[in-house]
Amino acid sequence: MKAFFDARQLGHAPTVYFRRGAAMPHQEQPQRAEILRDMLIGEGFEISAPRDHGLAPIKAVHNPDYVDFLPDAHARFVESAGTEALAIPTTHPGLRRGKEPRDIHGQLGWWMTDTSTPLTAGTWEAAYWSAQTAIEAAEEVMSGARAAYALCRPPGHHAMRDCSNGFCFFNNACIVAHHMTSTFKKVALIDIDVHTGNGSLDILYERGDIFFCSLHPDPTTYPTFFLGHADETGEGEGAGKSLNILLEQGASEDTVLAALDKGIAAIEAFGADALVVSLGFDMAADDPLAGVSVYPEGFAEMARRLAAMNLPTALVQEGGYLGPSLADNAKSFLTTFREATR
């Protein structure tokens, strides 16, 4: 199983963001990718740099005007606000699809917005090459490989069609899923990051050819809030093609695995020809943003069950932050998946 990574993804280096009303160190740091890259090297994975597939695959999923806004956005902000200001939005256009949470922090976000995607001088290049890395993994699978892994950073599954959100700028997994529909008639995207794949839900909600499933704690009380409720099952051609499986906060490994089995069963009923996995290691019990309790062997078991679906699979890295077991969790999942798909 080949892995793909581009060092230009390390250029996005935000320092702070606002959470629960206070500025704090930003969780999505370049070191995350370095830890995962070094684990891959240590475990003998072949790591290749992606080719440049251009903007077309990105604009096929995202609003082209949103994509075109990003390349010079930081420079324009600095010219207007100066180098000491933090490039985050402070005016807000209105509401998006979703539901108002009960949690006060979620309610503030419902009426306000997300501060977790500050622009830096290296943001555009990092986000662009994160997307290219994902597309290269898709190309590998479309060319006949059983599986490929995209070490993407910044992550993507919170990015909606026309906005950044939750550390994410481009929705790499949705870009991959859409790209793969040129080869496979039916594609499934399963999100096993601890947070709702809210951006993926937004993008895919009316698609009939891509089935989306996300495992996550109840968004009425857990970030990213708003989207990911059990009754959000798709609209139009996408009716019945979205599945949100809700977990209790602190859910055990066995509970998470049982939820994964439900998602796998739904994907098999859909008749998917190929699989995309939004792979988050923040399901770990010791992750800084932990919401459930999965351990290294649990990640290995998740890999076994997903590999047993016997589908061409693109693994796209999402969350997993600087907790003590990050490398161990990645090693457990990725080496197990590699062995199971040889």
Strand runs (DSSP E) across the chain, as ranges?
Answer: 2-4, 16-19, 22-25, 47-48, 147-150, 187-191, 210-217, 242-247, 274-279, 313-317
What number of H helices and E strands is found in the chain? 11, 10
Measured between alpha carbons, how far is 292 from 282 in angstroms, rounded to an integer?
9
Running DSSP on this structure, what letter comes out for residue 236? G
What residues does 168 pair with on adjacent strands? Answer: 165
Question: Do residues 154 and 12 make contact, with C-beta atoms less than 8 angstroms apart?
Answer: yes
Cβ neighbours around 34 below 10 Å, total: 14
Measured between alpha carbons, how far is 179 from 175 in angstroms, rounded to an integer?
6
Question: Do residues 67 and 58 make contact, with C-beta atoms less than 8 angstroms apart?
Answer: yes
What residues does 4 pair with on adjacent strands? Answer: 48, 150
Question: Do residues 130 and 153 make contact, with C-beta atoms less than 8 angstroms apart?
Answer: yes
> Is 22 in a helix, a strand, or coil?
strand
Question: Do residues 162 and 110 make contact, with C-beta atoms less than 8 angstroms apart?
Answer: no
Token pair 């050819």 is found at 209
Q: Classify strands 22-25 and 242-247 as parallel, antiparallel or unpaired.
A: unpaired
Query: Is 158 a known active-site residue?
Result: yes
Among the listed residues 158, 179, 195, 216, the single catalytic one is 158
- Catalytically active residues are 158
